[in-house]
Amino acid sequence: MSSTIIFIRHGKTNWNADGIFQGQSNNSSIKLLAESEKEITEKFQDMKFNIVISSPLPRCLQTAKILIGDTNCEIEIYEGLKEIKFGSLEGKRFNELNDEEKELYDTYKNNPQKFSRFPQGESVSDLETRVLNAFSDICKQYGAMEGKKICVVTHAGPIGALKRFLGIKASSISNLDAITLTEEQIIKLKNYSFNHPSKPIEQKEESSPKLKNIFNFWPPISEEKDELMQNFNSPGQNK
């Protein structure tokens, strides 16, 4: 028997509401909306997760922190779970894009197999290699923990890549949409052939007992991002 692994898109942010491309931006102005925080609690209040794994980006960490509540569950950080890098589009509103950028984004959303890459950003191949590498590692490490519930907090891009790999019909991915893997899907992800090996990093002591940085997937975590995770639960941070 396998464990229960659930992939969840992070809660809705102010940038989501304003139609701004977030991508891999760590802009400090990105915050979860108050109504989204409430929705997270209500939607998943009966789910008692044993392990919560998150993208290192603040909107996912904020979602993960709400999901664990007052439990002793730790948040494990996977670099490979980040959103696709939108490059020069990050920080722009959709209505600010020029015609070429709009066409590029439309191709990414509706015809990803014909998509090239975002200027100064990633291609679909970059995204899929990175996230499927991370998903496979998660399934290998936690997929056989019978009776345990594992929550993976990530983004629309990675969940879209997951759907394509598993042959799930494409559809729009809203904030807090969730996919629960079947045992067959866990096995398929375990058997994914890595194009890039995972790169373990030295485990660090964190100021919060609920935040633990365990694995790093190429590319490495920047010093700025590492500092963000160390200070995530400091007073006044990310409120």
Beta strands in the chain (DSSP E): 4-9, 51-54, 75-78, 149-154, 178-180, 199-200, 211-216
Q: Which residue has the higher pLDDT, 131 or 235?
A: 131
Exposure of 127 by Cβ count < 10 A (0-12 exposed, 13-18 middle, 19+ buried)? buried
Exposure of 209 by Cβ count < 10 A (0-12 exposed, 13-18 middle, 19+ buried)? exposed
Tens digit of each residue's pLDDT (9 = 90 or more) over 110-132: 999 899 999 999 999 999 999 99
Q: 96-105, 170-179, 226-235: which range is least confident on average? A: 226-235
Tens digit of each residue's pLDDT (9 = 90 or more) over 26-57: 999 999 999 999 999 999 988 889 999 999 99
**Beta carbons of 78 and 45 less than 8 angstroms apart:** no
Residue 205 has pLDDT above 80, yes or no: no
One-letter identity of residue 80:
G
Tens digit of each residue's pLDDT (9 = 90 or more) over 63-76: 999 999 888 888 99
Residue 211 has pLDDT above 90, yes or no: no
Q: Quote the percentage of the chain above a pLDDT of 90.
A: 72
CATH of domain 4-230: 3.40.50.1240
Residue 185 has pLDDT above 80, yes or no: yes
**What is the pLDDT, as a whole number, of residue 171?**
82
Q: What tokens appear for 35 in the block?
A: 């109504």
198 pLDDT band, cuts 50/70/90, is very low
**What is the pLDDT, as a whole number, of residue 169?**
87
Spell out the domain ranges in the chain.
Answer: 4-230
CA dist., res. 138 & res. 148, Å (int) = 13
